């Protein structure tokens, strides 16, 4: 399982690692600015994030030390473990803001819904690689993947956590479309999605969740309430203009006009301090890393590796797109972090583990395919 091969080091992707380190470095300095001055009590958030980065990179090293094909064997036990953690979080977890999502581990608060997203990528990649359908998947063929997605979706909605639950649906759609489905299946799934959406609006969504969506369409109607976050975020990004106000000189963040400036709206702080040029620089590196990840998928040695790499890239891509559109006012505020950039231990660790799997796939592209059935 842990056999060393000199070819692994020869195939180590230094570009992928460099891009990852650059993004983490920029995120660290932005977090330091967003949380300055630190609170007099407790550990500063930027130091907590630094420790979590170290833990995450230890997990990264662990994940590149064995063949990713082992995930075929670990897949369903890990899936069950995540479901158990979601149950524990719901019944015994820590509550905050009307939601019960966290398990207190002492050194950090684990949010099981974050690793659930990566676990779903692994699960779907394993299933689709074992059950390939040449002429496209029918609705019957998708029965098991739908069930595998629906179970954690329901648990996460019960917390409630609408944003993360919707991400599971986005992962399912992205990976299912990639493996190819029949045209008739598109029509049926589209109708089902519309029906579920209508039912969810009428029966499932909490009043505050509906308020977020209504505020998205007209935040000016409630500028000091639910629309406050969107308006202040747009002001922060716009005030950065071309070259920004300078590092640690942003007024929206440092004068506390911008809420959640270290989590959901972390990029608003970056946009205010570094302006349009700095934002384009960061986003260029960020999305180049994702394009490089797609190259990992396309050059993978087998179908499982290709689907796994593609799913990880889509997991990061859609969270990034939703977060950026959210802070610019193009989407409702749904609590989706910007992976690797927003403060949050569970999100950071999950993303670093995903990047470790991506590196694992790259390092073993020279090996003969030996997928486990």
Is residue 119, in this structure, part of any structural domain at all?
yes
Is residue 110, in this structure, part of any structural domain at all?
yes
Q: What is the mean pLDDT of residues 307-324?
A: 96
> Using N-to-C axis directions, what is the helix angle for 113-130 and 162-179, rounded to 10°?
20
Is residue 371, in this structure, part of any structural domain at all?
no
What is the rounded CA–CA span in Å between residue 273 and residue 269? 6
Number of domains in the chain: 1
Residue 130: both structure tokens together: 């074992």
Pick the more confident residue, 259 or 271: 271
Is residue 63, in this structure, part of any structural domain at all?
yes
Residue 233: both structure tokens together: 């975020």
Tell me which residue range forms the domain holding 138: 25-32+45-363
pLDDT tens sequence across 175-193: 999 998 888 787 887 888 7
Alpha helices in the chain (DSSP H): 6-10, 14-34, 45-63, 71-92, 113-130, 143-157, 162-179, 183-199, 207-217, 228-239, 251-254, 266-298, 303-327, 345-363
CB 227 within 8 A of CB 220: yes
- 27 backbone dihedrals φ, ψ, rounded to 5°: -65, -40
pLDDT band at 370 (very low <50, low <70, confident <90, very high): very low
DSSP state of 128: H
Is residue 265, in this structure, part of any structural domain at all?
yes
Q: Could you tell me the strand order of the sheet in which 99-104 lies?
A: 94-96, 99-104, 109-110
* pLDDT of 285 above 80: yes
Question: 175's torsion region: left (phi>0), alpha (psi -120 to 50) or beta?
Answer: alpha
pLDDT tens sequence across 116-161: 999 999 999 999 999 988 888 888 889 999 999 999 999 998 887 8
Is residue 40, in this structure, part of any structural domain at all?
no
Most confident stretch, 15-24, 81-90, 244-253: 15-24
Which of 7-11, 166-170, 210-214 is predicted least confidently? 210-214
Is residue 196, in this structure, part of any structural domain at all?
yes
Burial call 178-197: b when 16+ CB within 10 Å, e when fewer? bbebbeebeeebeeeeeeee
Nearest to 120 by CA among 68, 185, 167: 167
* pLDDT of 97 above 70: no
pLDDT tens sequence across 40-56: 777 888 899 999 999 99
pLDDT band at 216 (very low <50, low <70, confident <90, very high): low
pLDDT at 96: 58
Is residue 221, in this structure, part of any structural domain at all?
yes
pLDDT at 373: 41
pTM of the model: 0.89
Pick the more confident residue, 196 or 372: 196
């Amino acid at each position: 399982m842990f056999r060393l091969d000199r070819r692994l080091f020869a195939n180590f992707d230094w570009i992928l690692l460099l891009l990852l380190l650059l993004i983490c470095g920029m995120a660290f300095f932005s977090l330091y600015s967003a949380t300055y001055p630190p609170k007099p009590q407790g550990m500063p958030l930027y130091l907590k994030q630094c420790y979590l980065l170290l833990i995450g990179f230890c997990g990264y090293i662990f994940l590149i030390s064995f063949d990713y094909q082992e995930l075929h064997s670990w897949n369903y036990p890990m899936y069950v473990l995540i479901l158990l953690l979601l149950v524990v979080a719901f019944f015994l977890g820590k509550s905050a803001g009307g939601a019960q999502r966290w398990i207190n581990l002492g050194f950090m608060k684990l949010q099981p819904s974050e690793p659930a997203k990566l676990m779903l990528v692994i699960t779907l990649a394993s299933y689709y690689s074992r059950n390939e359908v040449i002429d496209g998947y029918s609705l019957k063929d998708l029965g098991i993947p739908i069930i595998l997605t629906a179970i954690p979706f329901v648990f996460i909605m019960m917390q409630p956590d609408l944003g993360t639950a919707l991400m599971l649906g986005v992962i399912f759609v992205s990976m299912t479309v990639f493996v190819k489905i029949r045209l008739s299946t598109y029509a049926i799934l589209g109708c089902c999605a519309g029906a579920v959406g209508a039912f969810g609006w009428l029966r499932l969504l909490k009043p505050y969740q509906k308020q977020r969506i209504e505020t998205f369409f007209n935040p000016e109607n409630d500028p000091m309430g639910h629309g406050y976050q969107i308006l202040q975020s747009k002001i922060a990004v716009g005030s950065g203009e071309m070259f920004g106000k300078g590092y640690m000189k942003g007024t929206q963040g440092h004068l506390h006009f911008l809420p959640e400036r270290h989590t959901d709206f972390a990029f608003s702080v970056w946009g205010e301090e570094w302006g349009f040029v700095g934002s384009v620089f960061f986003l260029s590196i960020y999305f180049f890393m994702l394009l490089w990840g797609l190259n990992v998928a396309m050059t993978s040695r087998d179908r499982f590796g290709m689907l796994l790499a593609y799913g990880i890239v889509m997991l990061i891509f859609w969270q990034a797109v939703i977060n950026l559109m959210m802070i610019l006012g193009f989407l409702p505020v749904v609590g989706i972090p910007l992976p690797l950039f927003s403060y949050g231990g569970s999100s950071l660790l999950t993303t670093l583990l995903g990047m470790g799997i991506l590196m694992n796939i790259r390092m073993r592209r020279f090996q003969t395919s030996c997928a486990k059935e």
